[in-house]
Amino acid sequence: MKQIVLASASPRRKKLLQQINLPFEVHPSSVEENYNPEWSPGKIVKELSLKKGKNVATDFSSALVISADTIVTFEDTILEKPEDANEAYDMLTQLSNNTHQVYTGVALCKTDQINNIAGTKTFFEVTDVTFGKLNPQDIKNYVEGGSPMDKAGSYGIQDDFGAIFVKRIEGDYNNVVGFPLHSFYNTVRNFAGEFLPNPGN
Ligand SMILES: Cc1cn([C@H]2C[C@H](O)[C@@H](COP(=O)(O)OP(=O)(O)OP(=O)(O)O)O2)c(=O)[nH]c1=O
């Protein structure tokens, strides 16, 4: 039977994929998220998402394995998840009153009946996010609340306070949360339409 697998531990990615009513199972990957610092941001998120997908794909037969990776870039610097509260505070201070980019890469891996990878497809989306001027006490409170720690760039646009920081965005909102639903659906239709409920429609 054809099966869809989401290779992610992110509750936000799970929720976004549920939104489009595809039946899937969650099997998080376990890979080191290292990359060549000379790569472009788009290449980094594509390669890391593919690494996550390949790590899980060979556990499944006749499957479509979906994986993703999100990073934030600000003026040539890559901001991943913060190491600690101080780093989160510094990142948010940097982003205050400025525009940054959120890149999410998605990988699709198809497997055959004997668990071999039969084909892969990767793509990425970029969204520009502009923060208003942040109040240092608001940043401190937000960091103390703990939300930044599992998020690239140290904020969640979907969080109460994270949302307050955001003045303007250009691009797909869901891409900032960690999964670009619009381009995902179009890519699946072309690359793996047989996994959609009504193939050919
Ligand atoms: C900028 C931003 C990031 N994020 C999150 C999305 C990702 O979950 C996280 C970046 O880390 P990732 O390494 O992309 O993903 P992950 O470790 O959470 O999950 P997995 O690798 O198993 O798929 O930051 C938000 O939730 N909201 C935001 O506004």
- ipTM confidence: 0.90
Taking the C-alpha atoms of residue 148 and residue 88, their distance in angstroms, rounded to an integer, is 7
Q: What tokens does 156 get?
A: 């969640």
Quick check: is 200 in a domain? no
Ligand 1 proximity of 178 Cβ (cutoff 6 Å): yes
The CATH number assigned to the domain holding 191 equals 3.90.950.10
Total domains in the chain come to 1
Active-site residue list: 69
CA of 160: how far to CAs of 79, 147, 165, in Å? 21, 10, 9
Containing domain of residue 85, as a range?
3-195
Residue corresponding to tokens 């502009």: 130
Quick check: is 201 in a domain? no
Ligand 1 proximity of 169 Cβ (cutoff 6 Å): no
Taking the C-alpha atoms of residue 15 and residue 68, their distance in angstroms, rounded to an integer, is 14
**Of how many residues is the chain composed?**
201
Single-letter amino acid, residue 27: H
CA 149 to ligand 1 center in whole angstroms:
10
Per-residue confidence band for 118, with pLDDT thresholds at 50, 70 and 90: very high
DSSP state of 193: G
CA 153 to ligand 1 center in whole angstroms:
9
CA 92 to ligand 1 center in whole angstroms:
16
Quick check: is 97 in a domain? yes
Ligand 1 proximity of 8 Cβ (cutoff 6 Å): yes
In tens, the pLDDT along 31-89 reads 999 999 999 999 999 999 999 999 999 999 999 999 999 999 999 899 999 999 999 99
Quick check: is 52 in a domain? yes
Quick check: is 35 in a domain? yes
CA nearest ligand 1 atom 18, residue: 10
Q: What tokens does 47 get?
A: 């390669």
> For the chain, first and last CA: distance in Å?
21
Q: In this predicted structure, what is the pLDDT of residue 200? A: 46
Quick check: is 152 in a domain? yes
